[in-house]
């Protein structure tokens, strides 16, 4: 597994992500729906969405994330699988296929992007809906290299863990590939007990970024019809909010 997918599952869950995306995905499921979630992480979306679905299959490549999702799961209508979403074949078709919270952006190379779209095609019913999400880049193509890079660590936040330790997180942004539109931030987690550092964890991330038109053109070029677009989770217009979320179906 590439270094960039070695998440620390406990630390991933320790922060409340500022996302209100479950209600959007919930609109596309019902008690008759078979749902496939690609890159399900620790089950942040899977667990609430399964309550509104017939069955949910959550697929993840990182073993710590997968194990944490399994450990949190009480529901009988969820299956968590350790698979690669760019090459798997479950031999099953679904009513809804989703990849919440920027999963597509973990896939930086063209063959991985081709792979996930083939997987979506092979697992989506002819009547089904797929939904992908990426963030809306803050800066234009010309500005990105100059404005995104930061030379020092930036404090992002802190939280108290269940054992009373304090977890603080910073990020660094010292490298981006402007030609291929890939950011390489690093998340730096430090855990403190009585103000003493007891653990240090670095999570290097790669994020391929997509501009609003590029994202819709990609989906159409893969042979799908776009049925809905959103610019965020608070009724923002596509291209004008912080997120780019697109629903599509087979032609």
34 binds ligand SAM (CB under 6 A): no
Say if residues 216 and 226 touch (Cβ distance below 8 Å). Answer: yes
61 contributes a contact to ligand SAM by CB under 6 A: yes
Q: Smaller CB distance to ligand SAM: residue 84 or 171?
A: 84
Q: Which is nearer to ligand SAM, 83 or 153 (CB)?
A: 83
**According to CB under 6 A, which one of 36, 40, 56, 104 is a site residue for ligand SAM?**
40
Of positions 25, 41, 129, 187, contacts ligand SAM by CB under 6 A: 41
Q: Which of residues 84-103 bind ligand SAM (CB under 6 A)?
A: 84-86, 100-103
3-state secondary structure of 61: coil
In whole angstroms, give the CA distance from residue 58 to residue 98: 10
Q: Is residue 60 near ligand SAM by the rule CB under 6 A? A: yes
Q: How far is the CB of 107 from ligand SAM (least distance, A)?
A: 6
Would you say 64 or 239 has its CB closer to ligand SAM? 64
Q: Is 187 in the site for ligand SAM (CB under 6 A)?
A: no
Q: How far is the CB of 112 from ligand SAM (least distance, A)?
A: 7
DSSP state letters, 98-130: EETTTGGGG--SHHHHHHHHHHHHHHEEEEEEE
How many residues at the interface with ligand SAM, by CB under 6 A? 20
Instruction: Tell me the C-alpha distance between 185 and 201, whole Å.
Output: 14
Beta-strand ranges (E) seen in 161-250 are 166-173, 176-177, 182-183, 186-193, 196-204, 207-208, 224-230, 243-250
- DSSP letter at 30? -
Distances (CA, A) of 65 to 97, 135, 176, 240: 19, 22, 26, 32
Rule CB under 6 A: say whether 80 interacts with ligand SAM: no
Residues engaged in binding ligand SAM (CB under 6 A): 5, 7, 39-41, 44-45, 59-62, 65, 84-86, 100-103, 106
């Amino acid at each position: 597994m590439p270094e960039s997918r070695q998440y620390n599952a406990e630390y991933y869950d320790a922060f409340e992500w500022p996302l209100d995306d479950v209600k959007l995905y919930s609109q596309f499921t019902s008690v008759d729906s078979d749902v496939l979630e690609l890159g399900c992480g620790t089950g942040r979306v899977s667990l609430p969405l399964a309550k509104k679905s017939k069955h949910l299959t959550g697929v993840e490549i990182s073993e710590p994330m997968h194990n944490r999702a399994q450990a949190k799961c009480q529901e009988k209508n969820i299956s968590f699988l350790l698979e690669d979403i760019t090459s798997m074949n479950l031999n099953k078709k679904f009513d809804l296929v989703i990849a919440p919270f920027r999963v597509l952006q973990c896939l930086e190379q063209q063959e991985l992007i081709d792979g996930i779209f083939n997987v979506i095609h092979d697992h989506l019913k002819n009547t089904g809906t797929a939904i992908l999400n990426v963030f809306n880049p803050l800066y234009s193509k010309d500005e990105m290299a100059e404005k995104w890079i930061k030379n020092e660590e930036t404090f992002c936040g802190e939280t108290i863990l269940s054992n009373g330790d304090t977890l603080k997180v910073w990020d660094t942004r010292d490298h981006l590939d402007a030609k291929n539109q890939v950011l390489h931030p690093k998340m730096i987690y430090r855990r403190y007990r009585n103000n003493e550092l007891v653990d240090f964890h670095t999570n290097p991330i790669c994020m391929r970024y997509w501009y609003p038109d590029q994202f819709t053109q990609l989906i159409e070029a893969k042979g799908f019809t776009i049925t809905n677009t959103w610019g965020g989770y608070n009724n923002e217009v596509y291209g004008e909010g912080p997120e780019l979320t697109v629903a599509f179906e087979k032609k």
